[in-house]
Structure formats: structure tokens, C-alpha cells
Amino acid sequence: MPLLLLISFAFTSQSCAQKPENTADKTRPFLLSESEWKQKLSAEEYEVLREKGTERPYSGEYEEHYEAGVYVCKGCNAPLFSSSTKFDAGCGWPSFYNAIAKSGIREVPDYSHGMQRIEVQCARCGGHLGHVFPDGPKPTGLRYCINSVSLGFVKAEDKK
């Protein structure tokens, strides 16, 4: 009898499960196969978010963007940065002095290209966002240097 109950539960839970993209809970893991990522993202978005590329400086949509709202992950729509923490660092990429929530990002040591840096990833989908540096303004002294192509934007009046 317990085996039958276990099998019944397995089928029920699979049929009731929602894909993370269909849920309002932006904290659930967002897992896709590489072929699904390639279908979801443009070639440039895929290169940056999944292959840890970078866009050219001063070329991104949000580098000189200062509307009120929230910057979200382009891969999974998780809220990442508030426009109230955005500043002009003069580096060619959108810069923020703080994330909305530390739990929304991961900071990972990055030793690529012969440098020691801290990579910033979306905690929900693992997408590469950019890097964080200790040369930002008060109150944090941090500069989250983020690729525009890794971001989406939700205007303040559009948020619900």
C-alpha cells in the first residue's frame, strides 16, 4: 500500500508542478536546458548570460538610462537592482551601488583573463550579470558593473 501511495504522489506532484517562468515567486530556481536558453534568449543575451561574455562599453541600452523602476534579470525576470541605486560610474556599463537584496545575486570569484575579480550572477537562474568592484559611492562603496544585455527594466508605474 505505501508503494502505491508513493507512485500516486509522484504522478500528482508532477502534473501539478509549474515551470518557474509561470510562477509569480521570483525566488524559485529557474532551470532551463541549454537548448531552451538558446530559444529564449537572443544570441547576444545567450553569450553574456550563459557564456559569461560582455557587451562593448557604452553600447548598452541601460548605460545612460535613469527612469524610476526596477532592473530585472533578462533570463528569469528576478528583481535585481533599483533605479534609486544607479549612478554614472563613467565605465561604460550600468552601475549600481547596491542590489535590491543580497539573496537575489551571487558573488563568485573570477580569475579569468589573468585578473582577480568578483563575478555577479543572478541567484535564481545563474545568469552572468557582470562584476562588482570596491570603488563605488557611499553608502556601500561598491560598484556593480552590469551588462545592459543581462537586464530588463520595469518602470515604477508599471510595477504591481
**What is the Cα–Cα distance from 48 to 28, expressed in whole angstroms?**
22
Q: Can you give the length of the chain in residues?
A: 160
Both ends of the chain: CA-CA distance in Å?
47
- Among 73, 122, 125, 145, the one annotated catalytic: 145
Whether the Cβ atoms of residue 146 and residue 100 lie closer than 8 Å to each other: no
Residue whose C-alpha is closest to residue 132's, from 101, 97, 88: 97
**What is the Cα–Cα distance from 130 to 159, expressed in whole angstroms?**
25
Residue 145 annotated to the active site: yes
Q: Which residues have a catalytic role annotated?
A: 145
